[in-house]
Amino acid sequence: MSPKQQRGEATVEQLLDAALRVYAESGEQGLTVAALTRASGVSLGSLYHHFGSVDGLMNALLTRWLGRLLGELAAALEHTRTAHTGIRALVRAYLNFVQEHREAALLLHSSYADRQGMADGKRLRDAQEARLSPLAQWADRYVDSGDLAPLPAPLLESLILGPVVGVARRWLSGIEDVDLDRAALVLPDRIWLSVSAERK
């Protein structure tokens, strides 16, 4: 990699890190060009050169952290041996991510991210397809073996991750009636009841 490319990569990293800090400190209303260039020490021209706009920078930031979250979920599944233990691993990995990366989790669970997802959902989904495939393959394997209910993949994903996302959002909002460690113990068995192919 040439020195120019290295400088370009360093500038991108500075801007992404600064954007997350600005968002965490000031929310969406604080995401101004002036705040981003001040926090990053990067020029206005460089911001536009690398990302095109503030929205372009924030989309890159969302894509980066969504990729990291999905990577951690996929890694959590690697050492599981049953569908039930896989669900337990997914819940723990998701809630651990939220606790360890609170600023990024705030962004990923924000109304800003929701609006971007609605406006540009297909592009974001396509960008994450390679990272989503281990989760889809894991679910398909256990649907084929008869352990998970034979539901379309989007419904299984919603039943498994929907309750976890809901608890994460509640915790991130500052409501103090949610204990993520307790949720990590309770949710997997409750989720299992909703997606297991077993009939009670």
Q: Taking 90 as the threshold, does the pLDDT of residue 7 lie above it? A: no
Question: Tokens for 97?
Answer: 């991510």
Please provide the average confidence, as pLDDT, over all residues in the chain: 89
Q: What is the pLDDT of residue 128?
A: 53
The HSE-up count of residue 99 (CA atoms within 13 Å, CB side) is 14
Region 8-21: mean pLDDT is 92
pLDDT digits (tens, 9 = 90+) for 15-58: 999 999 999 999 889 999 999 999 999 999 999 999 999 999 99
Cβ atoms of residues 20 and 104 within 8 Å: yes
Q: What is the pLDDT of residue 125?
A: 58
Q: Please compute Rg for the chain using Cα positions.
A: 19
Q: What is the pLDDT of residue 49?
A: 92
Of the candidates 140, 170, 167, the residue with the CA atom closest to the CA atom of residue 152: 140
- For residues 197 and 147, what is the distance between their CA atoms, to the nearest angstrom? 5
Cβ atoms of residues 92 and 50 within 8 Å: no
- For residues 191 and 91, what is the distance between their CA atoms, to the nearest angstrom? 9
Q: Taking 60 as the threshold, does the pLDDT of residue 163 lie above it? A: yes
- For residues 99 and 198, what is the distance between their CA atoms, to the nearest angstrom? 33
Q: What is the pLDDT of residue 38?
A: 94
Q: What is the DSSP letter of 174?
A: T
Q: Which ranges constitute the DSSP H helices of the chain?
A: 3-26, 33-40, 44-51, 54-77, 83-100, 102-108, 111-127, 129-144, 153-172, 180-195
- For residues 166 and 33, what is the distance between their CA atoms, to the nearest angstrom? 32
The HSE-up count of residue 45 (CA atoms within 13 Å, CB side) is 0
- For residues 50 and 46, what is the distance between their CA atoms, to the nearest angstrom? 6
* Tokens 């929310």, located at residue: 27
pLDDT digits (tens, 9 = 90+) for 85-106: 999 999 999 999 999 999 999 9
Q: What is the pLDDT of residue 121?
A: 58
